[in-house]
Amino acid sequence: MAKRKLGIVCYPSSGGSGIVATELGLALARRDWEVHFITYALPVRLKGYEENVFFHEVQTDNYPVFHHPPYTLSLAVKITEVAETHGLDLLHVHYAIPHATCAYLAREMLKPKRLPVVTTLHGTDITLVGMQPSFHKVVRFSIDESDRVTAVSDFLRRRTIESFQTQRPIQVIPNFVDVDRFRPGAASHCRFRRAGEKVVLHASNFRAVKNVPAVIRAFAEAKDAAASRLVMVGDGPERWPAQTLARDLGVEDRVQFLGLQDGMEEILSQADIFLLPSEHESFGLAALEAMASGVAVIATTQGGTSEVIEDGVSGYLRDPHDIHGMAESLRELLRNDDLRASVGAAARRRAVEEYSLDRVVAVYQAMYDELVEAR
């Protein structure tokens, strides 16, 4: 059988949608698919040469009459070029806006050739950005015009149907993790733990939705339960206020900001507890990667995390505004080594049994095969 060719459109940043898209493409390339990433910069987890993987940069041309460079149009044209030049069998776009819209434009420009389009909804494209009045109708249109639509959680599937009244069936395909890469003991040595300290970790893009102040406040309240350090990984608009808050709460010397980092599998394997108190998480990929690493997770109740974490068994779920509740769970885990180990082991088992890369990628591949054969 001829090698099948897949185009992937995603954001290249460290957010969950771009990470999942990149990891999916890499996994398929290792299964002998030819994968073409189409975006404005090299995806953050696309490092070095990978056989069967190609990157196509979208460049925008500015012109005085344009208030902003028309990225959407440039992306649609680039999709068309890649599809024609490389003979794509199908296109998978991650994040509804503007990617699903661009996919529709490209598909129209490619007629009479047929390019099936899969759209995966990841979260804020539906719950936040897509709900803006200026985007709502085009998001609904783009969903309805996709050949297949998937969502990363049942929470997001239900929210999409409620918010957009779409008649398009939405298949839930959860996020996944490479459990051989994200595992206990992935790091040979700890780069930031001091002797005798427990490490509490938070990783995000430091946007308001990640509720970063709650991380600092919960740690400040629980810090005396054991010798401990809070490590903050990532960057974004909330980083500076978080550093200021740590200073104001008197924990500046016990909070370490690492900024953006590669090799999250090594960093996570060095943590004892992972804290993710977001205002909402449609899935919580960072929490899943921590679970696969055998780390006890305290995460938000808002969104799809309750589908991933069994409260009190493979982690803890707490209201993002319940600082005292989060701090109490944090204290309990810091004090009790046996409990922390038990929760971390249960988290690892759940990641392996339900969310392993091989298990989930097989679902995507079956859907792709069906679309290509129908084409």
The CATH number covering residue 74 comes to 3.40.50.2000
Distances (CA, A) of 115 to 80, 88, 109, 147, 171: 10, 8, 10, 9, 20
- Which amino acid makes up residue 106? A
Phi, psi of 343 (to 5 degrees): -65, -40
pLDDT of residue 188: 65
Mean pLDDT in residue range 215-219 = 98
List pLDDT tens digits, range 314-344.
999 999 999 999 999 999 999 999 999 999 9
pLDDT of residue 2: 77
In a domain, 223, yes or no: yes
Structural domain harbouring 31: 5-176+356-374
Confidence of residue 356 (pLDDT cuts 50, 70, 90): very high
Residue 190, pLDDT above cutoff 70: no
| Count of domains observed in the chain | 2
Distances (CA, A) of 356 to 68, 183, 304: 41, 12, 17
Mean pLDDT in residue range 140-158 = 95
pLDDT of residue 124: 75
Provide the percentage of residues in the chain whose pLDDT is more than 70.
95
In a domain, 182, yes or no: no
In a domain, 26, yes or no: yes
In a domain, 240, yes or no: yes
Across the strands, what pairs with 90? 6
pLDDT of residue 130: 53
222 and 149 belong to one structural domain: no
349 and 208 belong to one structural domain: yes
161 and 203 belong to one structural domain: no
Cα distance between residue 188 and residue 347, in whole Å? 22
116 and 221 belong to one structural domain: no
pLDDT of residue 254: 95
Cα maximum dimension of the chain: 67
222 and 172 belong to one structural domain: no
In a domain, 188, yes or no: no
In a domain, 291, yes or no: yes
Tokens 């929470």, located at residue: 155
93 and 222 belong to one structural domain: no
170-172: strand order across its sheet: 53-57, 34-39, 5-9, 90-94, 117-121, 148-151, 170-172
List pLDDT tens digits, range 55-108.
999 988 776 766 777 889 999 999 999 999 999 999 999 988 899 999 999 999
29 and 147 belong to one structural domain: yes
> Highest mean pLDDT: which of 2-16, 84-98, 115-129?
84-98
When the pLDDT of each residue in the chain is averaged and rounded to a whole number, the result is 92
In a domain, 18, yes or no: yes
143 and 15 belong to one structural domain: yes
pTM of structure: 0.91
